Amino acid sequence: MRELVIYNTLTKKKEIFKTINPGKVGIYTCGPTVYNFVHIGNLRTFIFEDLFVRFLRYIGYDVTHVMNITDVDDKTIRGSKNENIKLSDYTYKYKKAFFEDIETLNIVKANYYPEATKHIKEMVNIIKTLLEKGIAYKTEDGSIYFSISKFKEYGKLSGFNPDELKDGASGRVKLDEYSKDQPVDFVLWKSYNEDDGDVFWETEVGKGRPGWHIECSAMSMKYLGDTFDIHCGGIDNIFPHHENEIAQSKAYSGKDLANYWVHSAFLNVNNEKMAKSKGNFYTLRDLLDKGYHPMAIRYSLISTHYRQPLNFSEELIKQSQSTLNRIKEFIVRIKSIKKDKTEINVDDIIIKSKNAFVENLLDDLNISPALAAFFEFIRKINSKYDDLGKDSIEKILGFIKEVDKVIGCFDHLFKDENLDKEIEQLIKEREEARRNKDFKKADEIRNKLLSKGIILKDTKEGTIWEKI
């Protein structure tokens, strides 16, 4: 097998992927700011990250995936104030919605979802060290800033050259979000201001709250170590967020934060970034309400190369739906093979298709030719349908299931349409019972399903079922 090659934003080229620890990968992906429902632009990035993690696991890596939840920043505070409720009550609603959305889209859960408000101590520790080293400074109002002129590598990721800054041109910014072409000393700790209401922490660096960037540095290093393998996000994270993460982390630990910085392109609408602020967004719920199947949405977002902008339209989802329908028809056709013995070499077709599928993904997750290899497999098998026997059914369906370990869109196509709602409900209840460690109830449900001829299998990716 070839080696995995991935485009590193840091070096602006494709590189052979080498891990810090043999066989293990630590990956950090910037998670949602829980001030509203995520839109499908955000979900494009999360689905790309899911593809990446699934593929790393598929080729044998033991992956630890960490995704943060930003539950304190300017936007969450503003939102909770507008609704006149506690910050934690406000963010809880959107955190819950986020987890529902990723489950609906069959995104494999990360190993850890650290929340910013639960890691203030870790952030304060970093800030203290940066103050001691003279890289951070406190202003009169008690806020603490990172001095970008003290960090010589500033700009390495985004290409900005701080030497080009005229004296005094940099200024300071206390907001979490600021202009993409205006590098400035950024805030690490925001001193308390009455607008923050009851959102503050009394800490060794003062009364206040953290800036957004320090949240990710503290949480990634806590769960993955000072240096880990991969850091992901959408391209809008490159500057300032990731540039700032790199600066404050290395200034703190003396080590590089991550070896590979991997960014996905935008989901656009009419060639403009889908964004809350532009009002040109769809949430997952908007699309489900219109009757689209979640897997058609997932397929739409996963099937374009992650570094290529993708223009969103409902037409795109309709095309994906018809692609999934064709795969479904193929599965049904294969299940209905009548002959006993196969008269062609199915193994050979499968091996070649599998190699093409994997080799393309090894090349910077080149999804289009990988999927093309899969459809070529369907075409070849279909063209030899009359030569197929029952002894090939499992092999053929097995290959689709194998591809789906990475793509994650086809599982429902195997399900019997007549499977009644009650069974699906029971599977959900069992998952819930297991989450609550109520194993007695979980076993009862398993046995009940067994009596209906449904066998459950618990896999890394979740529970799957088969008819006996």
Which positions touch ligand AMP (CB under 6 A)? 30, 32-33, 41-42, 44-45, 233-234, 236-237, 266-267, 273-275
Taking the least distance from each CB to ligand AMP, the nearer of 213 and 430 is: 213
Nearest distance in Å: CB 183, Zn ion:
17
Nearest distance in Å: CB 16, ligand AMP:
25
Taking the least distance from each CB to ligand AMP, the nearer of 67 and 126 is: 67
| Distance in angstroms (rounded) separating the CA atoms of residues 68 and 49 | 13
Taking the least distance from each CB to ligand AMP, the nearer of 275 and 456 is: 275
Taking the least distance from each CB to ligand AMP, the nearer of 74 and 196 is: 74
Taking the least distance from each CB to Zn ion, the nearer of 227 and 319 is: 227
Mention every residue, 6+ apart, whose C-beta is less than 8 A from residue 455.
449, 465, 466, 467, 468
Token couple for 440: 């007695």
The single residue among 43, 126, 148, 216 that binds Zn ion, judged by CB under 5 A, is 216
Nearest distance in Å: CB 114, ligand AMP:
15
**Phi, psi dihedrals of residue 6, rounded to the nearest 5°:** -140, 145
Taking the least distance from each CB to Zn ion, the nearer of 232 and 407 is: 232
Taking the least distance from each CB to ligand AMP, the nearer of 285 and 467 is: 285
Q: Which does 114 bind (CB under 5 to 8 A by kind): ligand AMP, Zn ion, none?
A: none
Q: Which does 216 bind (CB under 5 to 8 A by kind): Zn ion, ligand AMP, none?
A: Zn ion
Taking the least distance from each CB to Zn ion, the nearer of 32 and 408 is: 32
Residue 127 Cα to chain centre, angstroms: 28
Q: Which does 337 bind (CB under 5 to 8 A by kind): ligand AMP, Zn ion, none?
A: none
Q: Which amino acid is at 1?
A: M
Nearest distance in Å: CB 189, ligand AMP:
20
Residue 427: name the closest of 401, 395, 454, 387 by CA: 454
Is there binding between residue 238 and Zn ion (CB under 5 A)?
no
Nearest distance in Å: CB 246, ligand AMP:
16
Is there binding between residue 381 and Zn ion (CB under 5 A)?
no
| Distance in angstroms (rounded) separating the CA atoms of residues 391 and 222 | 51
Q: Which does 33 bind (CB under 5 to 8 A by kind): Zn ion, ligand AMP, none?
A: ligand AMP
String of contacts with Zn ion for each residue 161-200, x by CB under 5 A: ----------------------------------------
The β-bridge relationship of strands 144-146 and 185-191 is antiparallel
| Distance in angstroms (rounded) separating the CA atoms of residues 283 and 268 | 14
Nearest distance in Å: CB 232, Zn ion:
10
Q: Which does 234 bind (CB under 5 to 8 A by kind): Zn ion, ligand AMP, none?
A: ligand AMP
Nearest distance in Å: CB 126, ligand AMP:
20
**Phi, psi dihedrals of residue 65, rounded to the nearest 5°:** -110, 125
Q: Which does 45 bind (CB under 5 to 8 A by kind): ligand AMP, Zn ion, none?
A: ligand AMP
Taking the least distance from each CB to ligand AMP, the nearer of 231 and 430 is: 231
Q: Which does 206 bind (CB under 5 to 8 A by kind): ligand AMP, Zn ion, none?
A: none
Q: Beta partners for 187?
A: 145
The single residue among 4, 6, 25, 30 that binds Zn ion, judged by CB under 5 A, is 30
Taking the least distance from each CB to Zn ion, the nearer of 30 and 157 is: 30
Q: Which does 273 bind (CB under 5 to 8 A by kind): Zn ion, ligand AMP, none?
A: ligand AMP
Nearest distance in Å: CB 40, ligand AMP:
8
Output the residue with the shortest Cβ distance to ligand AMP: 234
Among positions 281-340, residues that touch Zn ion (CB under 5 A) are none
The β-bridge relationship of strands 144-146 and 136-138 is antiparallel
| Site residues, Zn ion (CB under 5 A) | 30, 216
